Amino acid sequence: MRVVTHEHMDSIAAPAWNAVAGTTNPFLRHAFFAALEHQHCVGAGTMWQPHYLAAYEGDVLAGVLPMFIKHDSFGEFVFDWSWAQAYESSGRRYYPKLVVAVPFTPVTGRRLLVNETSAQRDHVASMLVDAARELASRAGLSSLHFLFTDAADSRLLSHRDDLVERIGYQYHWYNPGYRDFNDFLNAFTSKKRKNVLRDRRLIREAGVEIDVLTGAQITGSLWNTYYGFYASTMRRKGNINALSAEFFHEIGEKLPENIMLVMARQNREYVGGAFFMHDADSLYGRYWGCNRAIPGLHFEVCYYRPIEFCIERGLQRFEAGAQGEHKIDRGFVPVETRSAHWIADPAGRAMIEDFVGHERRVIASHIEHASALTPYKRDRSSCASTSIASAGRRSLAG
């Protein structure tokens, strides 16, 4: 079996990539990575330099790592800025580094892309990890990072003594089988239910109407309108537009079955919107923006309407993006995320092991505290509250 690197997604045939990555998670599809490259979101002139690490058995692709050389930590959402600062303060270099990740996407999923039915899955995956580490070492890179790994990958990586495991957390919403939004709210305590109803009443009183659009319903002009909202959010946060308008147009064309926009209208004019992707099981919230401040608009567009969409479609989980303690009152529960890190320098590794050990204790305490603040009734006979609590305790990483 031979291992090679590809610097362009188009050098790997889409059917071959999708055969090992699967077609369930839209962020792992060949079309998603290709759109990032085609529309100059990654590659030349950016801080994400593709080095897709591929294992071949003969001419057949057996596995691949979506790997990038990075010169900063933007768009990763596993925050290691303090590690870089510690390196710099001690006269060492942290960048460039290698990451195995989906750019700009804090969504848990497979990172060791090997056909899940293959009897050699673990062997091929381990060989790719070894090859990635050797590449990082040979190139003089400081480190190698596997970000937002799913349960199977996390287990495989945790058995290696050359990697440091790191725990993070997000807030996810779970669907135990709600009939409709009112059924969902009936799982809340009275006070928390009234707060959500007040949020939604503010939207009605402001004369805001909501359009939930999927697939072919999303026209080119709608993408352009939405992109204005996305760009406004980036400006407000002092960030550059990591994703181009053309990127959204391309994935809208190539992955229509996985795309959703929630757009808000006031006086027949669009005033805000949010972009989502989904598969057969889960909804993923990514970016939102607006051009005027309307009380409750963010909650309606980013949480309540998407939750309705999940209930209507029978989706089991809604990941609404990184961070955001305000999600707790809207029915989201804390869930662990995982990453794994190879650190070349022994002193650097010791520092980072100490950091993540302390961080793990802080996060465990935070998750315990946040779990006690969820709006769900504490009546343990309630099927909904029981299954949601169980889902929250079960990390996506197993």
Question: Tens of pLDDT along 271-290?
Answer: 999 999 999 999 999 999 99
Q: Report how far residue 138's alpha carbon sits from residue 14's, in angstroms, rounded to the nearest whole number.
A: 29
Sign of CA dihedral 315, 320, 321, 327: negative
Q: Report how far residue 49's alpha carbon sits from residue 77's, in angstroms, rounded to the nearest whole number.
A: 17
Q: Report how far residue 372's alpha carbon sits from residue 161's, in angstroms, rounded to the nearest whole number.
A: 35
pLDDT for 394 beyond 90: no
* Average confidence (pLDDT) over 198-217: 97
Higher pLDDT, 378 or 261: 261
pLDDT for 228 beyond 90: yes
Segment 88-97, tens digit of pLDDT: 999 999 999 9
pLDDT band for position 134 (50/70/90)?
very high
pLDDT band for position 80 (50/70/90)?
very high
pLDDT band for position 322 (50/70/90)?
confident
pLDDT band for position 309 (50/70/90)?
very high
pLDDT for 11 beyond 80: yes
The residue ranges of every structural domain in the chain are 2-162, 172-334+387-393
Segment 101-122, tens digit of pLDDT: 999 999 999 999 998 777 899 9
pLDDT for 255 beyond 80: yes
* Average confidence (pLDDT) over 299-327: 95
pLDDT for 68 beyond 60: yes
* Average confidence (pLDDT) over 3-29: 97
Range from 19-33, 48-62, 176-190, 369-383 carrying the lowest mean pLDDT: 369-383
Q: Give which of 267, 283, 277, 270 is closest to 229, Cα–Cα.
A: 270
What pLDDT is recorded for position 391? 56
DSSP state for residue 170 in the 8-state scheme: E
| Annotation: CATH topology of 172-334+387-393 | Aminopeptidase (3.40.630)
What pTM value is reported for the model?
0.94
Q: Report how far residue 118's alpha carbon sits from residue 75's, in angstroms, rounded to the nearest whole number.
A: 32
What pLDDT is recorded for position 388? 57
* Average confidence (pLDDT) over 35-56: 97
CB 347: neighbour CB atoms within 10 A? 11
pLDDT for 389 beyond 60: no
CB burial of 97-123 (b: ≥16 within 10 Å; e: otherwise) equals bbbbbbbbbbbbbbbbbbbeeeebbee
CB 398 within 8 A of CB 153: no
Q: Give which of 116, 122, 113, 118 is closest to 155, Cα–Cα.
A: 122
CATH number of 2-162: 3.40.630.30
Q: Give which of 340, 341, 329 is closest to 375, Cα–Cα.
A: 329
pLDDT band for position 383 (50/70/90)?
very low
What pLDDT is recorded for position 386? 47
DSSP state for residue 179 in the 8-state scheme: S
What pLDDT is recorded for position 392? 54
CB 93 within 8 A of CB 51: no
What pLDDT is recorded for position 390? 52
% of the chain residues with pLDDT over 70: 95
The encoded tokens of residue 237 equal 């946060």
CB 280 within 8 A of CB 24: yes
- The per-residue pLDDT of the chain, averaged, comes to 94
Task: Please check whether the two domains, 2-162 and 172-334+387-393, share a CATH topology.
Answer: yes
Q: Give which of 310, 285, 299, 280 is closest to 175, Cα–Cα.
A: 310
3-class SS of residue 283:
strand
What pLDDT is recorded for position 380? 43
What pLDDT is recorded for position 236? 86
Distance of CA 63 to the CA centre of its chain: 22
CA-based Rg of the chain, rounded to a whole angstrom?
21
What pLDDT is recorded for position 381? 39
